[in-house]
Amino acid sequence: MNELLAPVEMSEADRLTIAAGTPGLTLMENAGAAVAEATVALAPGQRVTVVAGPGNNGGDGFVAARLLAERGYSVKVILVGEASRLKGDARAAFDRWRGPVEAAAPEALAACDVIVDALFGAGLDRPVEGLPRAMIEAINARGVPVVAVDLPSGINGATGAVMGAAVKATRTVTFFRRKPGHLLLPGRLHCGPVAVVDIGIPASVLASVQPKTFANGPALWGLHFPLPRIEGHKYSRGHVVVVSGGLSTTGAARLAARGALRAGAGLVTMASPREALAINAAGSLAVMVRPVDGALELAEFLTDHRRNAVVLGPGGGVGAAMRDQVLTALGSEAAVVLDADALTSFAGEPEPLFAAIRARSAAVVLTPHEGEFSRLFKLLYKDLKVKSKLEAARMAAAASGAVVLFKGPDTVVAAPDGRASVSDNAPPYLATAGSGDVLAGMIAGLLAQGQEFGMTGFEAASAAAWLHGEAAAAFGPGLIAEDLPEALPGVYRTLFAQVAPPPP
């Protein structure tokens, strides 16, 4: 159930189901019934207004109207569009509705206890203007609970964008699978809780639809998670190297090192400039500290292949020295996680970075936040005019050859092969200094352990983003970056119980 279907993929799922013998009207009846149930569950009072649009989203609304009226609710339909132009299943559903239909006007919403928003769903294909926009604004101004059919009207199902104006729903009922727009911002903030209902589309259609976008969670990567094994030892659990910045900027690397260790890496070493050795050593117990200055010494340090994952960037400084270290790390056989200054050091001239990534086979994960992303992938915004965070991350992964983790409240992880995950579990407390450093370390910690479990850069980055969100939520308000690694054991306790294979 973790697949996310863009509107075109969803209409393909509908089409395949209908071609296999289930009438479209049956799907619409099931959809409308689920909407009616959700409306009843809100216990809204007796007066229901269904705002219906010109397509099949409106059709679902007509079905819900009929079923709610049959249950004794006082229902009226406001039609945005002309009844004479309704077609197909929506026409049939409209013809079965015998109650009042009013022409659309904002004032028509005056007397109701709950609104069913059936104006636009998957078929929204342009900015909302004029009367539909006035209706959306009137719905939001009305102040009664709103049940959105499929998507809050005005939200783009593929991108989560507000197309001019969008309904703020109390809850949303969608069909078969969620859509990216339910998770991506700002769409997610318009949905309320999203119920996913079965309307008779069989999961087998997914074999043809071949979705490549997933809600992030254990269902996506649990099978590949490096669970600790009784016969394992610290050397079989990987060795992460975190490259530290100079004397005044060691904290970020220490946070990353702690993240890597708590994520389960067997060994973690900070590769520290000599000037910062003492402070790094004083700040670390289980984390080891070794003197490593500059790219040449780093190259030498990474010739030991047991050091199988490297983090570069947190507190590392921007400039030529960092670029050299990054290209050196990419020349090794270790998995590489590049964050913060490692990314900014290539802003404006990313080609040498991308070339080095494409020339290697071991995993590379880039973890930009929005500012770092737009600096590194300027071209996407300038020349290609990408419309969504999901599309941007995918294009960045394809352009760079790396797994790209595009941070934010709706973190997207995209792989060069087109797969992408979207996270919706990050609490607002995660927006705090240093939390990204911990995340970079956690990714490396999973990569270091994960090879024999088949945990690729995509799975490791997705898993780390999810764990990071869970750890923050488990700690709760007042979180600072130092708390994240310490909250991880509790998250692991629950996760391991969920994904561990049952004892033989």
Binding site for K ion (CB under 5 A): 117, 121, 148-149, 153
- Binding of residue 200 to ligand NAX (CB under 6 A): no
Cβ atoms of 292 and 242 closer than 8 Å: no
Contacted by 464, from K ion, ligand NAX, none: CB < 5 to 8 Å by type:
none
Residue-by-residue DSSP string for 147-216? EEESS-TTB-TTT--B-S-----SEEEEESS--HHHHSTTHHHHH-SEEEE--S--GGGHHHH---EEE-
d(CA 191, CA 187): 7
Selected from 55, 181, 251, 266, the binder of ligand NAX by CB under 6 A is 55
Indicate whether 150 belongs to the interface with ligand NAX (CB under 6 A): yes
Residue 128 near ligand NAX by CB under 6 A: yes
Give the separation between CA 118 and CA 266, rounded to whole angstroms.
54
Task: For the CB of residue 42, give the shortest distance to ligand NAX in the complex, in Å.
Answer: 19
**89 is annotated as contributing to ligand binding:** no
Residues 482, 435: Cα–Cα separation, whole Å: 8
CB closer to ligand NAX, 3 vs 60: 60
- 143 known member of a binding site: no
**252 among the known binding-site residues?**
yes
Looking only at residues 64 through 103 of this chain, which bind ligand NAX when binding is defined by CB under 6 A?
none
> DSSP letter at 481?
T
Q: Is residue 407 annotated as involved in ligand binding?
A: yes
| 58 marked among binding-site residues | yes
Q: Among residues 52, 122, 335, 392, which is the contact residue for ligand NAX, using CB under 6 A?
A: 122
CB-nearer residue toward ligand NAX: 122 or 241: 122
Binding-residue total with ligand NAX (CB under 6 A): 28
Q: Do the Cβ atoms of 340 and 315 come closer than 8 Å?
A: yes
At which residue do the structure tokens 């199988």 appear? 308
Does the protein bind ligand NAX through residue 53 (CB under 6 A)? yes
Q: Which residues contact 374 (CB under 8 A, 6 or more apart)?
A: 381
Cβ-based nearer residue to ligand NAX, 48 or 495: 48
Calpha distance 491→8 (Å, rounded): 36
Stretch in the footprint of ligand NAX (CB under 6 A) among 25-33, 165-173, 190-198, 408-416 = 25-33
Q: Which residue number, 127 or 428, has a Cβ lying nearer to ligand NAX?
A: 127
Q: Amino acid identity, residue 241?
A: V
Write the single-letter amino acid at 290.
Answer: R
> What is the rounded CA–CA span in Å between residue 293 and residue 1?
48
By CB under 6 A, tell whether 159 contacts ligand NAX.
no
Q: How far apart are CA 280 and CA 444, in angstroms?
A: 19
Q: SS3 of 399, please?
A: helix
CB 489 within 8 A of CB 497: no
Question: Per the structure block, which two tokens stand in for 371?
Answer: 């500012």
Considering only residues 4, 5, 50, 59, which one is a binding residue for ligand NAX as defined by CB under 6 A? 59
Task: Report the 10 Å Cβ neighbour count for 290.
Answer: 14
Min dist CB 17 to ligand NAX, Å, is: 8
Examine residue 57 and tell whether it contacts ligand NAX (CB under 6 A). yes
175 binds, among K ion, ligand NAX, none (CB under 5 to 8 A by kind): ligand NAX
Give me Rg for the CA atoms of the chain: 26
Out of 5, 6, 28, 161, point to the residue binding ligand NAX (CB under 6 A).
28
Handedness of CA 56, 59, 63, 64 (dihedral sign): positive
- CB of 154: closest distance to K ion in angstroms? 8
Which region, judged by CB under 6 A, interacts with ligand NAX, from 20-28, 227-235, 268-276, 303-311?
A: 20-28
107 binds, among ligand NAX, K ion, none (CB under 5 to 8 A by kind): none
Tell which one of 39, 56, 284, 423 touches ligand NAX (CB under 6 A). Answer: 56
Q: How far is the CB of 34 from ligand NAX (least distance, A)?
A: 10
What angle in degrees, to the nearest 10, is found between the helix axes of 351-358 and 389-400? Answer: 70
CA-to-CA distance for 89 and 23, rounded, in angstroms?
9
Among 117, 7, 120, 103, smallest CA distance to 64 is for 117
Shortest Å, Cβ 161 to ligand NAX:
12
Cα distance between residue 309 and residue 333, in whole Å: 9
437 binds, among ligand NAX, K ion, none (CB under 5 to 8 A by kind): none
Is 437 labeled as ligand-binding?
A: yes
From 126, 233, 382, 385, residue interacting with ligand NAX (rule: CB under 6 A): 126
Longest dimension (CA), the chain: 82
Q: Which of 73, 94, 120, 475 binds ligand NAX (CB under 6 A)?
A: 120
Closer residue to ligand NAX (CB): 121 or 238? 121
Nearer of residues 116 and 252 to ligand NAX, judged by Cβ = 116
Question: Is there a binding annotation on residue 315?
Answer: yes
Torsion of CA 426, 432, 436, 437, to 10 degrees: -140
* Residue 242 and residue 444 in contact, taking contact as beta carbons nearer than 8 Å: yes
Residue 153 touches which of ligand NAX, K ion, none (Cβ within 5-8 Å per kind): K ion
User: Which of the listed partners (K ion, ligand NAX, none) does 334 bind, with a CB threshold of 5 to 8 Å by partner kind?
Assistant: none
CB hemisphere CA count around 437 (13 angstroms): 26
User: Which of K ion, ligand NAX, none sits in contact with 55, Cβ below 5 to 8 A by type?
Assistant: ligand NAX
Q: Which residues bind ligand NAX (CB under 6 A)?
A: 11, 14, 24, 27-28, 31, 53-60, 120-128, 132, 149-150, 175, 199
Q: Binding site membership for (6S)-NADPHX: which residues?
A: 56-60, 121-127, 150, 252, 315, 369, 437
